[in-house]
Structure formats: structure tokens, C-alpha cells
């Protein structure tokens, strides 16, 4: 049975982004100031030396990082239920385009980046099908992130003597993940209508009644699709979760490879594992800052120092990671351009039917 794709109100999303624009500018400038501060503190000379040592090894970093897009694209295609089918090539392209938007536009990860991935493939699968499959994959990904952060944080706490601020931050991250993991499992098992129920609660309180009335049916439809997938496809859960875990393992391999080039002291897999778990925390907590400017350098630099790396190694690692993100973002923007789209018509909905 054909499912009619609901129209995504990009004009409404644009209005919300306009309200957040001043905050985006403030956080962007703050990120640049933090970036300059941490780079200067680490030593520009040390960072440049590390980048020079990497050299052509950056191509290997790009090759490893490409696998992260691949495994999440495959996971997304496995969340699309028959008779619909999302081609792998289109899923990869949509991930690149959506992540490009999230990397360059403040707050776009919520307002544009994730929904846009389904919009980019609406010529392959109905929009609602793409959105629900994306939501399902993101649930698996969120659980894998929580598990990965939990394991990395425990390893860090048990293996190294940490300064108080870092120890407290690590304990906070650990407690948060220990709450998220069972809560996510409980929601799937009990099939609680958490999202639509919360919206109805706000509606009864009189909070944004028009907006709540508009999006509650969409939220309910999305929940029904997610829980329906849970009932009909439990045999696929392990493979989807394994694909999302491969995303994190590829991150560990990427950091280990980068450190092998830039660090005078040979890294260990344990160190790479901890640094990637810290990277996940930074990505989750500071997604609203473009390219995590400043906070990545500060957080990675601090943890790298605790792990015993030389001065500037953590900051260099973060900067190389930015270079990787900029490369893939450029690919994503080229793909958007080749589709005949622009950031403006994505915002205004000029290309959306």
C-alpha cells in the first residue's frame, strides 16, 4: 500500500533557525576563540610538525573514515522495510550531504541535518519511509554511542590518574550513559508513546498549542513505524547494531593510525579507544558548534596529556580530524550542488514537493 509522504515544513524550520541565528554566531565565535587559545597554548610549531609528519598519511585517514559513512549507510538501508528499498549509493550520498549541513550550519543537526537525509532520497523511497528508517537507525546508533562511551569512560577511570575536573566530567558521562542505555531498552520493549505523549502533555499545559497540535500526529505515526519495525524485524537488530558499532571501531582505527604518524611515542589501542570515546562525548555535547571548533582541541588535548602523549599531540589530532570533516563536507556540498539544490532552497523548500 502506498504511503503518502508528509510535507516537511522547511519554511517553519527556517524561522526556527532564524531565531537561533544569534546564538549560532555567538557559539561560532566562541569556538574560534577557544580554537585560537588551545592552538597557541599547545604550540603552533608542535602542531605544524605533527601535520608534516602525517603528510600523505592523510589519504589513509580519509580511506578509514570513509568506512564510517559506509557502515551507517548500510545500517540505514537495513531499516527500510519492504516493499521499499533504499539503494546503498543513494544512502551514502544522503549521509554525506546531511552531515555537510550539520558541520557548517550551527544547530543544523536537529533542524536540518537529519531530516534532510530523508529528503535527499525521497525520489527513491517515500519521505515518511525514509524518515522512520532514519529514526530507527539513529536509535541503534544512540545506543551504540552510549555503550561505547560507557566502556571508554570506565577504561579511562580505571587506567589513569585523572585531574579532578576531568574525573568529575568522566563520572558524569558514565552516569548519563548508564541511565540512557536501560531507558532506551525499556522504551523499545514497552513501546511507550513517549514522544507523542510528551507533546500531548505540553498541549494540555497550553504550551505552543498550534505547533503541538500540528506535529503530534506526525510523532505518533513515526512511533508506530518504529515500534512496528521492532515487532516485525527483530532478527535484523543484531546486524544493525553491529554495523553501528563498526562505526566506532573505525574511529578507533582512524585515531590509532593518525597517532602512529604524528606521535613520537607509539600509541596503544587502549589510548586510541579512550580518545575516540572522548571524541564521541564531544560530538554529542557540542554538536551545535560547527566542527566542534575549540572544544575538540581543548578536550582531546587535555585527555591526550593524561594519556602520556607529548605536548600538542591531542590538539594536532583534533585539527587533523577537522581536515577530514572539511574534506567530506566539501564532497557533500558538491553532491548537493549536483542535485541542483542550494542551502537557500533547502531552507525555503523551493525544491520540495
Q: How far is CA 286 from CA 31, 103, 251, 324, in A?
A: 10, 11, 18, 18
Mean pLDDT of the chain: 82
Mean pLDDT computed over 27-47: 73
In a domain, 258, yes or no: yes
The pLDDT score that the predictor gives to residue 247 is 96
The pLDDT score that the predictor gives to residue 5 is 41
pLDDT band at 31 (very low <50, low <70, confident <90, very high): low
In a domain, 174, yes or no: yes
The pLDDT score that the predictor gives to residue 25 is 65
When mean pLDDT is compared across 18-32, 86-100, 102-116, 249-263, the lowest value belongs to 18-32
Which has more confidence, 292 or 345?
Answer: 292
In a domain, 228, yes or no: no
**Could you report the per-residue pLDDT of 262-320, keeping only the tens digit for each?**
999 899 999 999 999 999 988 887 777 777 887 888 889 889 999 989 888 999 999 99
pTM greater than the 0.85 cutoff: no
When mean pLDDT is compared across 20-24, 53-57, 270-274, 321-325, the lowest value belongs to 20-24
C-alpha to C-alpha distance for 97 and 106, rounded to whole angstroms = 15
**Could you report the per-residue pLDDT of 126-150, keeping only the tens digit for each?**
988 898 899 889 888 988 998 999 9
Residue with cell 531499516: 79
The pLDDT score that the predictor gives to residue 343 is 55
Q: Is the pLDDT of residue 176 over 80?
A: yes
CB 263 within 8 A of CB 309: yes
Catalogue the long-range contacts made by 156-160 (C-beta closer than 8 Å, 24 or more residues apart): 156/274, 156/277, 156/278, 156/303, 159/270, 159/274, 160/306, 160/307
The pLDDT score that the predictor gives to residue 228 is 78
In a domain, 128, yes or no: yes
**Could you report the per-residue pLDDT of 190-234, keeping only the tens digit for each?**
777 777 778 787 777 777 777 777 788 877 877 777 777 877 877
In a domain, 231, yes or no: no
Q: Is the pLDDT of residue 69 over 80?
A: yes
When mean pLDDT is compared across 98-107, 315-324, 327-336, the lowest value belongs to 98-107
Residues in the chain: 353
C-alpha to C-alpha distance for 75 and 131, rounded to whole angstroms = 14
Of 278, 271, 347, the closest CA to residue 318 belongs to 278
| Domains identified in the chain, total number | 1
The pLDDT score that the predictor gives to residue 348 is 47
Mean pLDDT computed over 166-193: 80
Mean pLDDT computed over 184-192: 73
Which has more confidence, 267 or 181?
Answer: 267
The pLDDT score that the predictor gives to residue 108 is 52
Neighbours of 129 (CB within 10 A): 22
Q: Is 125 exposed, middle or buried (0-12, 13-18, 19+ CB in 10 A)?
A: buried
In a domain, 227, yes or no: no
Q: Is the pLDDT of residue 15 over 60?
A: no
Mean pLDDT computed over 26-39: 70
In a domain, 224, yes or no: no
Q: How far is CA 108 from CA 17, 197, 307, in A?
A: 8, 25, 33
pLDDT band at 7 (very low <50, low <70, confident <90, very high): very low
pLDDT band at 50 (very low <50, low <70, confident <90, very high): confident
Domain span at residue 248? 10-184+238-348
Q: How far is CA 144 from CA 64, 95, 138, 163, 225, in A?
A: 19, 18, 10, 28, 21
C-alpha to C-alpha distance for 353 and 347, rounded to whole angstroms = 13
Q: Is 203 exposed, middle or buried (0-12, 13-18, 19+ CB in 10 A)?
A: middle
When mean pLDDT is compared across 2-6, 21-25, 147-151, 299-303, the lowest value belongs to 2-6
In a domain, 167, yes or no: yes
Of 333, 249, 300, 298, the closest CA to residue 39 belongs to 298
Amino acid at each position: 500500500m502506498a504511503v503518502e509522504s508528509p510535507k516537511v515544513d522547511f519554511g517553519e524550520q527556517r524561522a526556527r533557525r532564524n531565531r537561533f541565528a544569534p546564538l549560532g554566531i555567538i557559539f561560532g565565535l566562541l569556538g574560534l576563540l577557544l580554537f585560537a587559545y588551545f592552538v597557541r597554548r599547545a604550540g603552533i610549531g608542535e602542531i605544524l610538525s605533527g601535520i608534516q609528519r602525517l603528510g600523505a598519511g592523510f589519504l589513509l585517514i580519509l580511506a578509514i573514515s570513509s568506512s564510517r559513512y559506509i557502515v551507517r549507510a548500510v545500517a540505514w538501508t537495513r531499516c527500510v522495510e519492504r516493499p521499499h528499498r533504499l539503494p546503498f549509493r543513494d544512502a551514502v550520498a544522503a549521509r554525506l550531504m546531511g552531515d555537510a549541513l550539520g558541520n557548517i550550519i550551527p544547530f543544523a543537526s536537529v533542524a536540518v541535518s537529519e531530516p534532510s537525509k530523508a529528503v535527499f532520497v525521497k525520489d527513491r523511497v517515500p519521505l515518511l519511509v525514509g524518515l522512520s528508517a532514519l529514526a530507527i537507525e539513529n536509535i541503534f546508533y544512540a545506543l551504540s554511542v552510549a555503550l561505547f562511551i560507557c566502556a571508554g569512560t570506565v577504561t579511562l577511570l580505571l587506567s589513569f590518574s585523572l585531574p579532578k575536573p576531568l574525573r568529575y566530567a568522566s563520572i558524569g558521562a558514565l552516569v548519563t550513559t548508564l541511565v540512557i542505555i536501560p531507558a532506551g531498552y525499556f522504551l523499545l520493549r514497552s513501546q511507550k508513546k513517549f514522544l507523542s505523549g510528551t507533546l500531548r502533555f505540553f498541549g494540555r499545559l497550553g504550551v505552543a498549542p498550534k505547533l503541538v497540535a500540528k506535529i503530534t500526529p506526525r510523532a505518533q505515526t513515526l512511533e508506530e513505524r518504529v515500534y512496528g519495525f521492532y515487532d516485525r524485524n527483530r532478527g535484523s537488530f543484531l546486524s544493525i547494531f553491529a554495523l553501528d558499532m563498526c562505526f566506532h571501531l573505525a574511529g578507533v582505527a582512524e585515531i590509532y593510525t593518525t597517532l602512529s604518524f604524528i606521535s613520537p611515542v607509539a600509541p596503544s589501542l587502549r589510548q586510541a579507544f579512550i580518545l575516540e570515546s572522548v571524541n564521541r562525548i564531544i560530538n554529542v555535547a557540542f554538536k551545535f558548534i560547527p566542527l566542534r571548533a575549540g572544544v575538540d582541541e581543548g578536550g582531546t588535548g587535555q585527555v591526550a596529556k593524561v594519556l602520556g602523549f607529548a605536548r600538542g599531540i591531542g590538539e594536532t589530532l583534533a585539527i587533523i580530524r577537522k581536515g577530514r570533516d572539511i574534506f567530506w563536507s566539501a564532497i557533500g556540498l558538491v553532491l548537493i550542488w549536483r542535485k541542483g539544490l542550494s542551502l537557500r532552497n533547502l531552507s525555503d523548500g523551493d525544491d520540495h514537493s
